[in-house]
Structure 1
Amino acid sequence: MSWQELAADHATREAPCESVGLLVVIKGRERYRPCKNISTEPRDTFVIDPEDWASAEDEGHITAVIHSHPQTPPEPSREDQQACDALGLPWHIYSVLSGSWGVCRPQHQRLSLIGRVWSWIYADCWTLTRDFYALHGIELPDWQRPRTFEDFMRAPMFGDCWPLAGFRELEPDEQLSYGDALLFDMHGTGPDHVGVYLGDMEVLHHLKGRLSSRDLYGAFLQSSTVQRLRHCSVSTLETVAIG
């Protein structure tokens, strides 16, 4: 069977949930490797089990992501294109409803920092923060996240990561400046959210279930702030367009 036939069969068996797999080149041949969808909302989206991804990398070279749309045409959603761009791999989409295929390919233009659809690992608050600093020539590490957002919330990691990413904590008498990072405790579990101060009492951040946005750094966000950080490599950052 071809990889298309194997993937279509996998999608049919997984319906009404989304299936996901990887196209891997092994000894010069394309092979379909089905993966586990560990999303908490598998009928609407997918998250590849990191162990399946690692196994595929051990076997060969990953060339594409393949997933299904159980009840809709094989047209890439906004989230599909966004994650496709983030990974830099083609995404083949199989519609169980119509039995047809579609594909989206990475678009190389810079992805706007405003209006992104939230997706764990591919487009979350840390991804947004990394991309903001990348615009200023600062490369932050892409931490190995837990498998799911729910796993992360049980043991938030931001409190341990920021010193290793090159940040220092601001002194109480230091004023916030453009580009300073803010760690928030949004759920009473410790630092579980990060944003960037933009000046003029505005913050850039990306909450789960919302689009990335530029919001007022008002009373709620201020009261949720647990640490104010500045990257050690610069004293000031030049303002750049983020929209």
Structure 2
Amino acid sequence: MTMKKIILKHAIQCGDHESCGIVIDNMHYMPCVNIATDTLNHFEIAADDWIKAEEQGKITAIVHSHPNNGQPILSEADQFYQQKTAVDWWLVCNNQIFQFRYIQPLIGRDFQHGIMDCYTLFRDAYHLCGFDFPNYVRDDDWWNKGLDLYTEHIESNGFYQVKLSEIQEGDVILFSLISQKANHAAIYIGNNSILHHLPKRLSKRDLFSGYWLKNYHSIWRHKEWQSSNFTAILSNMAINTK
């Protein structure tokens, strides 16, 4: 039986209670007993199980389930503890396994072009919502080197353009900053605000007005976007601004 089938079987055996376990070396799943007080809505892995897993190899992922019609995204508490463990978290929901790689908090990131920049923020924010986009190799100042990375790839990744008057939470806003090409991206987070990451600055929220409104290029929405997806982004911002 494959590791993923073992994980799904364990979740089914736990019924309405959250299952939990540990992936070791990306190869072996160690089922654990959920010792949380409220196992219907939460999970907790015993310290002895952590020690046992570490003795067997490297912990590469934490697994738990969202039974009872739970959403296939990490909750605010899940994201908080994922940041504490600094490993991938796998979520069993609707008899499927959703894998969430460990990412740095969306707010307060240091900028490093091609590694931790505006596209990284865009990609990571959407990963929290259950979408996976390619991590394109990109040199600094690519927009002045004959490339048009955002507009060349955004439609092929499932986005379509919407009007400014139709903007909603989760939409991606492209900007043209000292360029004719779209060379900067932000996530619209409601209340006339955006989440983005500029060179030499920490990732942050800004008002979508003045300079930003004047220099926006276009607004894009994913074909499979649902308003419930945005909960994952809100949760990440909430735990990192308290």
For residue 178 of structure 2, what is the aligned residue in structure 1?
A: 187
Deviation at 1:151, TM superposition (A): 3.7
Is residue 136 from structure 1 mapped to residue 136 from structure 2 by the alignment? Answer: no
Are the structure 2 counterparts of residues 118 and 234 from structure 1 closer, same or farther at C-alpha, using a change threshold of 3 Å? Answer: same
Q: Deviations over 1:34-65 (max 9, x none)?
A: xxxxxxxxxxxxxxxxxxxxxxxxxxxxxxxx
Give the aligned residue type for 1:119.
Answer: Q
Deviation at 1:216, TM superposition (A): 1.1
1 CA distance for matches of 2:102 and 2:217? 35
Deviation at 1:177, TM superposition (A): 1.0
2 CA distance for matches of 1:238 and 1:182? 15
Identity %: 28
Pick the aligned partner of 1:150 from 126, 134, 141: 141
For residue 159 of structure 1, what is the aligned residue in structure 2?
A: 151
- 8 A contact 2:114–2:137 mirrored in 1: no
- 8 A contact 1:153–1:192 mirrored in 2: no
Deviation at 1:141, TM superposition (A): 1.9
Deviation at 1:109, TM superposition (A): 5.7
Unaligned runs of 5+ in 1: 1-84, 87-107
- TM-score, normalised via structure 1 length: 0.51
- 8 A contact 1:153–1:189 mirrored in 2: no
- 8 A contact 2:150–2:183 mirrored in 1: yes
Q: Kindly indicate whether structure 1 or structure 2 has the higher relative contact order, using CA contacts under 8 Å at least 6 residues apart.
A: 2
For residue 111 of structure 2, what is the aligned residue in structure 1?
A: 118
For residue 42 of structure 1, what is the aligned residue in structure 2?
A: none
Output the aligned Cα RMSD: 2.2
Deviation at 1:110, TM superposition (A): 4.2
Give the aligned residue type for 1:118.
Answer: F
2 CA distance for matches of 1:133 and 1:187? 26
Q: Deviations over 1:191-225 (max 9, x none)?
A: 01011000001101111111111111111101111
2 CA distance for matches of 1:164 and 1:171? 19
- 8 A contact 2:172–2:188 mirrored in 1: yes
- 8 A contact 1:156–1:189 mirrored in 2: no
Pick the aligned partner of 1:213 from 204, 216, 220: 204
> Secondary structure of the residue that 2:218 maps to in structure 1?
strand
- 8 A contact 2:143–2:181 mirrored in 1: no
Deviation at 1:178, TM superposition (A): 0.9
Unaligned runs of 5+ in 2: 1-85, 88-100
> Secondary structure of the residue that 1:160 maps to in structure 2?
helix
- TM-score, normalised via structure 2 length: 0.51
2 CA distance for matches of 1:210 and 1:140? 24
Deviation at 1:144, TM superposition (A): 2.8
The equivalences for 1:1-243 within 5 A come to 110-145=103-138, 148-154=139-145, 155-171=147-163, 173-174=165-166, 176-236=167-227, 237-239=229-231, 240-241=234-235, 242=237, 243=240
Deviation at 1:160, TM superposition (A): 1.1
1 CA distance for matches of 2:162 and 2:130? 21
> Secondary structure of the residue that 1:178 maps to in structure 2?
coil
2 CA distance for matches of 1:110 and 1:235? 22
Give the aligned residue type for 2:154.
Answer: W
